[in-house]
Amino acid sequence: MELVGFEYKKILGRKSIIIVFVLSVAIMVAGQTLWMLPFMPSYREGETRWESFLKQREYARALSGRVIDAELLMETSAAYTNRLPYFWPIERMMNWIYGRPEIAAYQAENFYNIRRHQVAQQLEFHYEAGHMSRVGVDAMLRLDERIPEPWVFEYAEGYIAFLQTGILTILAALITAVGVAPIFASEHSTGVSQLILTTKHGKGRLVRAKAFAAVSFTAMATLFLIAVHFLVNMAIFGFDGASAPFQLFIPFSPYPINMWQASLIFTVTATIRIIFFGTALLLLSSKMKSAFGVMIFAVVWIFLAMMLFVPVPITWLFNLIRLFINILPAGSTVFLPVPYEIFGLAVLPFVFEIIVAIVASAVLLTLAGRGFKRHQVG
């Protein structure tokens, strides 16, 4: 553990890591809070944005606990027609399902049937695009059947804002790159590797300490950013809605989970996939003579990962891209309704991605250690 402590001293002793940490937190907090500043354009005359938000939150909270049925949907439709902002989270959901919040009574009566039909259509689209086979479509439809109906509305805007993030994992990946890239490479560029590779533990314990430091630093940095992002959103919107159905966020999602479970799955998936990213950088760090090359590689990878989906009509290629390139999940992409199919068995995407990331990380760590031990000075 003493050697791990020294590795942390090296990582945290660099100004670059402090700068990237501070900037990341600042960007995240600003992204969630700038809208509430007084100079931002307001929704309604005579009200600041913050005042409008407080009113809307109060209205939405008052609806919590109501079953989403024809009555509530028709109330929402009427409120929309009369420009009353009482039902906006339900309006948003109706926009997804009906295309607009103004609906007829028969549409309200058939809310769940219409939704199921659209879920099936969405899965059909992925099937026709070559993203999955009938096995996958059937598995997702069976999963969708397990969603309890009718849904009960809860005000869950804190969780929705938390899961909507796109930048969180990009920032976590950047911090990881700055922290991990020099772990082995800077030993080579500074010439210290000449000393440490001649010591008793330089090719054994030290390598394990560096691997542990890389993985734990990545995990802690990611979890720290996630925690900041979560707490900022909860501070603004409130902690309500943990048990709300996930479908209040993505109505066509076939996953029978609530907001709290979705947040947990997102947190675990994001952390483990960024650890995979970190271990890949660690391998490069062990091979390269300078951290600069590793950083270039990391930035290119992050850029590619930001291009969320490449429309590839070949299942295996589509799966390879989302497994190894699109590694920076947003809340919505973790829950893509396209399973991985292994020997005729459909595996939930986040489950498979977590397993692959863990296995790949273990392999990459082994290779990184070997790369450093076999480094030739000269």
Partner 1 sequence: MELILDRLTKQYKNKIAVDKVSLTLGQGVYGLLGANGAGKTTLMRMMCGLLDPTGGEVKFNGIDVSRAEYRDALGYMPQHFGYYPEFTATSFLHYMASLKGLTKQRSKEKTAELLETVSLSEVAKKKIKTFSGGMKQRLGIAQSLLNNPKILILDEPTAGLDPKERIKFRNLISRLGADRIVLLSTHIVSDIENIAKFVLVMKDGQIIQNGGVDEILTDIRGKVFECVVDDAQAAELSQKFPVVNIRAAGPSEEHAGKTLLRLIASDNNPPCENAETVPENLDDLYMYYFGERNE
List residues binding partner 1 (CB under 8 A): 2-3, 6, 9-10, 13-14, 187, 190-206, 374, 376-378
Is residue 368 within 8 A of residue 279, CB to CB? The reply is yes
Minimum CB distance to partner 1, residue 184 (Å): 13
Q: How far apart are alpha carbons 10 and 189 in whole angstroms?
A: 14
Give the C-alpha separation, 345 to 375, whole Å: 42
Pick the closer one to partner 1 by CB: 185 or 356: 185
> Closest approach of Cβ 222 to partner 1, in Å?
25
Q: Quick one: which of 352, 351, 285 has its CA closest to 320?
A: 352
To partner 1, the closest distance from the beta carbon of 290 in angstroms equals 13
CB of 347 to partner 1, least distance (A): 42
Give the whole-angstrom CA distance, residue 176 versus residue 174: 5
Residue number, 55 or 205, with CB nearest to partner 1 = 205
Shorter beta-carbon distance to partner 1: residue 196 or 215: 196
* Smallest distance, partner 1 to C-beta of residue 124, A: 58
The answer to whether residues 72 and 153 touch, using CB atoms and an 8 Å cutoff, is: yes
Classify residue 167 by its DSSP letter. S
- Comparing CB distances to partner 1, the nearer of 10 and 55 is 10
Listed in sequence order, the residues at least 6 apart from 361 whose beta carbon sits closer than 8 Å to its beta carbon are 215, 272, 275, 276, 279
HSE-CB for 40 with a 13 A CA cutoff: 12
H/E stretch holding 339:
none
Nearest-10 Cα torsion for 23, 227, 255, 345: 80
CA distances from 303 to 26, 232, 264, 294, 308 (A): 21, 26, 26, 14, 10
Judged by beta carbon, residue 83 or residue 200, the one nearer partner 1 is: 200
Task: Identify whether 41 is preceded by a cis peptide bond (ω within 30 of 0).
Answer: no
CB of 320 to partner 1, least distance (A): 35
d(CA 170, CA 186): 24
**Least distance CB 375 / partner 1 (angstroms):** 8
- In whole angstroms, the minimum distance from the beta carbon of 216 to partner 1 comes to 18
Q: Give the number of other CB atoms < 10 A from CB of residue 157.
A: 25
Q: Which residue number, 198 or 243, has a Cβ lying nearer to partner 1? A: 198
In the complex with partner 1, the residue whose CB is nearer, 1 or 342, is 1
Closest to partner 1 by CB, 183 or 265: 183
